[in-house]
Structure 1
C-alpha cells in the first residue's frame, strides 16, 4: 500500500501545499493507536484517557482524538477552555473532555454549552462551577484536582479538608474524578513519587467517593499502585520515551523532512552562517535546507540531517528559515535542489533531537510550526 492510499490529509490540505511547503511533517496515527494499545495492556484493565492539550502536542488534537476513539478511548484532557470547545466541535457528543487549567472566571456558560468537564483546582473554581450548575438547572461534570506535592495546580490539603467537611460543597456537581499530577514520575527511584501517592491517598479520602487518577505517561510505568481507576498519558502516545533511563517502549509517531534549497562548494576558509561560527578548514560541499527556528528547530541546537542513511552535520547557526548542512560525505551530485533530507525519523528520534537542543521531547513536538505540510497516515 503506498503512502497516498494510507494518508488522511488535514482539512484544507492539497497536493500543492506539499509542493509549496519547505518541509513535510508526517504524523502516523496508526503508531499513536498502537502506543495507546501498549499502554492499556500495561494498565491491565484500568481505563486509559488521552491527553491532547496543546493541539495534541502539536500534531493535531482532532486527528489524534479521533484515532484514539477508534481504540475505545472516551476521556480526553486539554489545558484550556478554547482547546476544549474546539475538540468538542470535532468529536461531537459523547466523549468526556476535561479542562485541566479549570474554567476561567466568567466563562462557565461557554464550558456548559460545550459540555466540558471542569477540573476544579481551587475553592473559587468550585464555587463558580456550583453556581453554573444552578444556572444550568442540572448537575455538571467535574474532576477535583488536589495538590499532592507538585505545587502547580490543585487544592492544598487545608482546602480539601474544609471542603470535604462541607456537605453542600458539591451540590449540583457530578464528581467524575479525583486527580493529582506526579512531578517526578520519569525518575522511578525518586522518593517524591511515593510521597505524592501517599498524600493523594490521604486527600482523596476527605472527598466524596469517586474514581481516582494519578498516573501520567511515566506514572504508568511506576507500577499498579499508581494506576488507580484511570491513567492520563500524553507524551508516550506521541512516541516520547516515558522511561528515559531505559529503551523506549513506544513507537515513533512523527517524521520530518526538509527540502534542499541550494547546494554549493565552499572554499577553504569560507565563513558559514550568522556570526561565522564555522569556517571551512578545506574545500567542502554544503546544502541549504528550508527549515529554521521559525519552524521550531532551536537556533543553537547542534544536530544533523540524514540522506539515504548518511549523517549530514549542521554547519554554523540555525537561521530563521534555513540550515546549512555539510554534505561532503555524499558523492558529488547526489543531493539536488528539491530533494528531502530527514530531520526526525529512524535516524533521529524526537528524544534525540531534544538531547541535542538541551531540552525535552515535549518542547520539540509542541514547537513544530505551522509552515509544514502535515501529512497524516494510518499505516
Structure 2
C-alpha cells in the first residue's frame, strides 16, 4: 500500500465529503423547549428512536438531556443502552417492550419496558417473580389497532387485587391514530377512551399526545407528552404552518456540470427528453443515501399523480431533478442559473433551511419522518450550535 506523508492527510473530512449532514443542536433543543412550553403543565419527554430521527442518538440525546429532558422514548433495547451513556439520570422507555433474553440489559442499564401485549405482560409477570420489583409502562390500545393491551383488559388489570405487588407501572400510555389531522372526530373518541384508562390508574403518570397531539390542546396533554418529529424540525399537523426551526441540512457535492443538446435524453430509461440546450449538474447523492427515487422528474409512477418532482437548492435558487434518481447520483437541471454559477465541487442542498424536509417529502410521495430516518451511512456529519460554529 502506498504511504503518504502528513502533507496529504485530510484534516477536515466534512469540507471534502461527497455527502454531508449538518445538525443544528441549538435548533434541536429550542424545538424541544418550544414543545415543552406548548405542553403546559405536562412534562415533555423526547422521542429519540430511529437514531434520533436520523440525527444521531448520541449527540442529539446528550443535547436534549443537557437542555432538561428527563424522559426519553426509544424503540429498541439497543437504542436504550446507547442513550443511557449520554442521559445518565434520565428515565428511558423502550417502546418495543421486553423479550426473553433481554432482561439483563434492561436491568443493567435501568431501562423501562413498555408492555404492549398479553404475551409480554405474562412474561413480565414471570420476570418480576424472579427479579422482584421493577418499573414498567403499559401501552393501551384506544383505537389505533397497532400495539397495545385491549382497553377493557387494561382497566380490569388495574383493579385486579390478585396481581403481584411487585407489578408497579410508572406510566400508562396510548397513541393517537389521527393526531396530525385536527378535524378528525377519532381524536376525541380516543381521548374519552384514554380518560377511562387514566382514571383506572389514578396516581400513575399518563401519556397520550405525541407531536401532533400536543397541538390539540391541554385536554390531550395529561402528565407526559412525547414530542418527536417536531423536535427535529418536521411538520406535525396537516394544513398548519410549521412553527419549528429547521434542524438538519443535507448537502451533496456537484461532481460534474455538463452541457447537453436539445432532443437528447437524461438518465435511465430516457425518461426525460430535453426540449432545450441544457446545463446539468450531476451530484453525489442517490437513493442509497435516502434521496428517494420517487422524486425523479419522470419514469416513476408517482409523476402520474404529482407532476412536480424533487428539487435542490444551489446558487440562491431551487433547481429541479432531471430524469431518474439513481443509486449514487442525481442530476439537477441548472440551465436557468447564471453561467458559471454552479461548478464542480460546489454543494447543493437536498433538504434544510432552503428546502424544508416536508417539501422534499411531498415530492417523494411520503412524509418528513421517512426522509429523516432514511438518511444513509455515507453522510459526513457535523454538529453545530447557533450560527454554525462547529462543535
Q: What TM-score, normalized by structure 2, do the two folds share? A: 0.89
How many residues align? The count is 364
| Distance (Å, rounded) in 2 between the aligned partners of 1:263 and 1:141 | 59
Deviation, structure 1 residue 128 = 2.2
Which deviations, in whole Å up to 9, do the C-alpha atoms of 1:273-317 show, x marking residues without a partner?
000111221211111000000000110212111112222211100
Counterpart of 1:51 (choices 47, 54, 59) is 47
Residue 32 (structure 1) aligns with = 28
Counterpart of 1:135 (choices 114, 122, 130) is 130
Kindly indicate whether the alpha-carbon contact (under 8 Å) linking 1:296 and 1:364 is maintained by their aligned counterparts in 2: yes
Residue 214 (structure 1) aligns with = 208
The root-mean-square deviation of aligned C-alpha atoms, in Å, is: 1.6
| Distance (Å, rounded) in 2 between the aligned partners of 1:171 and 1:124 | 19
Q: What TM-score, normalized by structure 1, do the two folds share? A: 0.92
| Distance (Å, rounded) in 1 between the aligned partners of 2:318 and 2:111 | 47
Kindly indicate whether the alpha-carbon contact (under 8 Å) linking 1:101 and 1:153 is maintained by their aligned counterparts in 2: no
Deviation, structure 1 residue 19 = 4.6
Kindly indicate whether the alpha-carbon contact (under 8 Å) linking 1:260 and 1:337 is maintained by their aligned counterparts in 2: yes
Kindly indicate whether the alpha-carbon contact (under 8 Å) linking 1:108 and 1:128 is maintained by their aligned counterparts in 2: no
Does residue 68 of structure 2 align to residue 72 of structure 1? yes
Residue 344 (structure 2) aligns with = 337
| Distance (Å, rounded) in 2 between the aligned partners of 1:216 and 1:170 | 31
Give matches, 1:224-235, under 5 Å: 224-235=218-229
SS in 2 for 1:55: helix
| Distance (Å, rounded) in 2 between the aligned partners of 1:345 and 1:204 | 40
Residue 249 (structure 1) aligns with = 243
Deviation, structure 1 residue 204 = 3.0
| Distance (Å, rounded) in 2 between the aligned partners of 1:16 and 1:377 | 15
Q: 1:228 to 1:161 in 2, by over 3 A?
A: closer
| Distance (Å, rounded) in 2 between the aligned partners of 1:240 and 1:15 | 33
Give matches, 1:1-379, under 5 Å: 15-92=11-88, 94-137=89-132, 139-207=133-201, 209-301=203-295, 302-379=309-386
Deviation, structure 1 residue 268 = 1.8
Kindly indicate whether the alpha-carbon contact (under 8 Å) linking 1:46 and 1:230 is maintained by their aligned counterparts in 2: yes
Consecutive unaligned residues of structure 2, counting only runs of 5 or more, are 1-9, 296-308, 387-391
SS in 1 for 2:294: coil
| Distance (Å, rounded) in 1 between the aligned partners of 2:84 and 2:261 | 57
| Distance (Å, rounded) in 2 between the aligned partners of 1:209 and 1:121 | 20
Kindly indicate whether the alpha-carbon contact (under 8 Å) linking 1:236 and 1:250 is maintained by their aligned counterparts in 2: yes
SS in 1 for 2:138: strand
Deviation, structure 1 residue 24 = 1.1
SS in 1 for 2:85: helix
Deviation, structure 1 residue 15 = 4.2
Consecutive unaligned residues of structure 1, counting only runs of 5 or more, are 1-13
Kindly indicate whether the alpha-carbon contact (under 8 Å) linking 2:294 and 2:365 is maintained by their aligned counterparts in 1: no
Which deviations, in whole Å up to 9, do the C-alpha atoms of 1:191-226 show, x marking residues without a partner?
100100111112233346301110100100101110
